[in-house]
Chain A
Amino acid sequence: MKNKNQLVHKIKITFSQNWLYYIMVLPGLIYLLINSYLPMFGIIIAFKKMDFSKGIFGSEWNGLNNFRFLFATNDAWIITRNTIAYSIIFFIVGTFMAILFAVCLNEVTNKISAKLYQTISLLPYLMSWVIVSYLAFAFLSSESGFINKSILPILGIDSISWYHEKDYWPFILTFVSTWKGVGYSMILYYSNILGINQDYFEAAKIDGASKLRQIRYITLPLLKPTVITLLILNLGSIFRSDFGLFYQVTKNSGPLYPYTRTIDVYIYQALMKNADYGMSSAASVCQSIIGFVLIISANKFLRKYQASSALF
């Protein structure tokens, strides 16, 4: 009885102290409810043969037939490999560059310059992938591309038909993805670094540590929890890829597919003209379930080793 009263009392106090924050979160919460939770029942579309004249509930069950198509291709393994590999590479390279940027930005003393650099690095994130694809085309075009016309002749190398040679693309895609995302992912790390207590740095300076040592022994360890949290979150989307990057920037060029076709692109290509809702849902369900399983297991694993960094 007393415990229950205590609990109610606790809730009341939390609420009264933090009601403003709850209101702040309310629109996002509503959006989450409507956009993510409410449509969850739609998962059954993946198991049905959709007939719109009967509606979702009236359509016949199709068992696992809709999932067959995902594995019907020779390339099912290649596509999966591409998706996972790129997710991992992008995370590693992206995190490295973001931390590098954040640390460097922190060293800039002129406040105006710091803000300027941050804004400029953020701009690519705000561009749409279609624009980025045209930027890439301006560099990589065989007829009029900057690289083929200006850079390679200087180095004495022949023109390369970029859009038809697949070996270069893992690097190109990683570069473009990092270029576009670093401004945004850096923000989190930057704010973390700003929050580090200056006393640590002063103490280190007094002890005679160089800048590099300070960064290595103070900044980086303190960023570790953030990195781990982001790692877990990214694990959940390991089966997803940025469609714009893999479809637009590569201009959907066939010869590149072994290195640039990911699950999202494959689904788009297969089902764009097909309009089969069942098959598209099946593909999404696959991605979501695998991501879900991965997050839960990674979190459990992490709980054992560093409970404070675990998500839940």
Chain B
Amino acid sequence: MKKKVIALILGSALAAASLTGCSGDNNSTADTSSMQTTTTEEGSETTNESAAGSDDIVEIFWQYPAISDVGEGFYRMEDALNEMMERDIGVHVTFVPTGLMESQQNAILSVSTGEQLDICLSAFTSVAKLVENGLVQPLDDIIEEYGPDILEVCGAAVGGCYYDGKLYGVPTSSTAMYTSYGYKMKKVYFDKYGFENDRDKLYTFDEIEEMFSVVKAGEGDNFYMFTPWNNTVEPLNSSYLEFDKPSGDLTAGVVMLNRSFDELTVYNLFETPEYEEFCKRMYDWRQKGYIAPDASVDTDYSSRAANDNYMGNFSGIGGAIAENPSDWNQDIVVYRTIAPYIAQNGGRNMTWNIPVTSVNPAKALEAINYLFKNKEATWLILYGFEGEEYEVVEDNGVDKIIRYLADNPQDLPYYQPYGIYGDRFAWPVFYPNSIDFNRKIGDYHDQIPESKYSPIIGYSFNQSSVTVEMAAVQTVIEQYYTTFNSGVLDPDKALPEFQSALKAAGIDKVIAENQRQLDEWAASKK
């Protein structure tokens, strides 16, 4: 009897175990294929339903970049937002917190296991990977009906979200498309050494180097001028020269805009004389002590410049520079190195995409559109609640000036730093900027002449035939770029090695393919 009972228990336990393998769980890969087909079918069915004005609330999972664990303020914000959204468009939003740089990877992970994700974020990467792997869906059919405000507010920026002829995403916000770069110096050193600064002038690197040598002589060892971001391949965080990257990264070559804004030739950046000059200068700077010896292996680079023994950093800066620019919780002075220009860089830098596991793509798009339509919803997500996170300093009916209620905004119950929601020009202005700051940015953007527009806007590079080579090239770049950016290796020896490794990985094939497609596109435009 005892034996039978034991045998029975064991047997049923084993049987139960084997059944777990075939459950209809979302995470079971065996069922993914069938799940995919049903969701896309459902998707198209519900599109018709929502067009007819369905009364059911649709739940949308929306990827939300956060800098830390979300707190209680976040949930309050989510509830308040849902109050508005449920009432106006019948959507209930559930935010899925993620890190900004990991957003695309997390989206890939969720979608490939079949989890529902309606809106995902592509930050600083092109949408090519998502499309090549069949993870996002085209929006051409639904954009006009469900995203009219997006089209109106973002205008030409939407053109940068196309891949291979179809629309795969929408811009996150209508930020001005131009980019301008330079060196940000902490004001304490500016005052201490009596430098001058002309906001409208473009400084050469020799002039900046002169200032470095003065400061270095004054501060001595263990004081550094800037830190190269180790996740950014572009020289000096893109402050060194203008270019446009058709594939969104440097593996497929660049169009050298510093030479000309009209030429449609794709170059291998790493073989250009400009790059060689850059490497030599970085090597020189490191010998002189402007760059920390361990910079290339530093994992805390993003916050390193805030340290007391750093003078500043190179990075992108807003075009219409604020009257009192500040960063790292202190005043700074900006030295521009590159005039504002407009490049596509493989598509908009930040886009919302709709994955294939979305249950209702039309509603998802409508939710994004809602942010462009409704200022209050946007302010809610961006800043939180008036009186709790921020206070209104001035209000002239059209624009407001606001200020955070804490010196360190991270202490507030709700804080998120990413300006990726809604219409940029409808955002409140931050104190102490003047109340028409938004207008100024808009005007500044309009001032940028056509001659500063990259000639390849509207072109997208279809990578499917060279993915293997691009992966190999990427690996080679990963091996060398941190060392060149921090001036570790002598470029006379290391640069030829780098260049031949790139060739062996097949960069010439990639660039030839890119050039071929570009020429085709240029011909078809005429």
Produce 1/0 per residue, B246-280, CB < 8 A to A. Answer: 00010000000000000000000000000000000
B33 & A142 in contact (Cβ 8 Å cutoff) = no
| Segment among A65-73, A188-196, A197-205 that sits at the interface with chain B | A65-73
Give a binary string over A275-286; 1 marks a CB under 8 Å from any B CB, 0 the rest.
111010000000
B230 to chain A: closest residue by CB: A252
Which segment of A48-56, A292-300, A301-309 sits at the interface?
A48-56
A residues in contact with B111, CB < 8 Å: 52
| Contacts A52-B133, A273-B474 given; does A23 touch B10 at CB 8 Å | yes
Q: In the assembled complex, which residues on chain A have CB atoms less than 8 Å from the CB atom of B293?
A: 142-143, 161
Cβ-neighbour of A72 out of B29, B472, B488 (below 8 A): B472
Partner of A52, one of B10, B134, B478: B134
Q: Chain A: which residue is nearest B483 at the CB level? A: A254
Measured CB to CB, the closest approach of chain B to A34, in angstroms, equals 6
Q: Are B299 and A53 in contact (CB under 8 A)?
A: no
**B346-364 interface bits toward A, Cβ cutoff 8 Å, 1 = contact, 0 = none:** 0000000000100000000
Contact of B294 among A15, A23, A50, A142 (CB under 8 A): A142
- A16 CB, nearest partner CB in chain B, Å: 6
Q: Is A254 touching B468 in the complex (CB atoms < 8 A)?
A: no
CB within 8 Å of A: which B86-113 residues: 104-105, 108, 111-112
Interface residues on B, range: 35 or more
The reply on A163 being an interface residue by CB < 8 A is yes
- B48 in the interface, Cβ–Cβ < 8 Å? no
| Given A72-B472, A161-B293, also A54-B21 (CB < 8 A) | no
Interface of A is mostly: helix
Which residues of the partner chain B approach A26 to less than 8 Å between Cβ atoms? 10, 13-14
Complex Cα distance, B30 from A56, in Å, reads 8
Q: Are A73 and B480 in contact (CB under 8 A)?
A: no
Interface size on A, residues (CB 8 A): 52
A15 CA / B6 CA spacing, docked (Å): 10
Assess A275 versus B297: contact at CB under 8 Å? Given A34-B20, A72-B506.
Answer: no
Q: B9-67: which have CB < 8 Å to A?
A: 10, 13-14, 17-18, 20-21, 29-30, 32-37, 40
Which of A96-104, A228-236, A263-271 interfaces with chain B?
A263-271
Q: Mark A51-91, 1 if CB is under 8 A from B, else 0.
A: 11111111000000100110011100000000000000000
For residue A274, which residue of chain B has the nearest CB?
B471
Q: B501 near A: Cβ within 8 Å?
A: yes
Contacts of A15 in B (CB 8 A): 7
| Contact, CB under 8 Å: A56 / B21 | no
With A52-B133, A161-B293, A163-B297 as known contacts, state yes or no: A73 contacts B356, CB within 8 Å.
Answer: no
Contacts of B36 in A (CB 8 A): 52-55
Complex Cα–Cα for A260 and B34 (A): 43
Asked if A156 is an interface residue, CB under 8 A from chain B, the answer is no
Please name all residues of chain A whose beta carbon is closer than 8 Å to the beta carbon of B13 when the two chains form the complex: 26
Does A253 make an interface contact (CB < 8 A)? yes
The reply to whether B222 and A52 contact each other, CB–CB distance below 8 Å, is: no
Chain B: which residue is nearest A42 at the CB level?
B29
Q: In whole angstroms, what is the CA distance A30 to B33 when docked?
A: 25
Are A34 and B475 closer than 8 Å at their CB atoms? no
Decide if A254 touches B296 in the complex (CB within 8 Å). yes
Question: Residues of A contacting B476 with CB < 8 Å?
Answer: 73
Q: Which chain A residue shows the least CB distance to B469? A: A72
By a CB distance below 8 angstroms, the chain A residues around B475 are 73, 266, 269-270
Quote the shortest CB–CB distance from B422 to chain A (angstroms): 29
Chain B residue at smallest Cβ distance from A50: B133
CA distance A253 to B33 in the complex (A): 40
12 pairs of residues in contact across A and B, judged by CB atoms under 8 Å: A26-B13, A26-B14, A33-B21, A41-B30, A50-B133, A53-B135, A55-B35, A143-B294, A161-B293, A164-B483, A270-B474, A275-B104
Told that A55-B32, A275-B133 touch, could you supply 14 new A-B pairs with CB distance under 8 A?
Answer: A30-B17, A50-B133, A50-B134, A72-B472, A74-B505, A142-B293, A143-B292, A254-B483, A255-B488, A270-B475, A273-B125, A273-B474, A275-B104, A276-B129
Complex A-B, nearest 7 residue pairs according to Cβ-Cβ distance, in ascending order: A55-B33, A51-B134, A251-B297, A142-B293, A53-B134, A72-B472, A270-B475
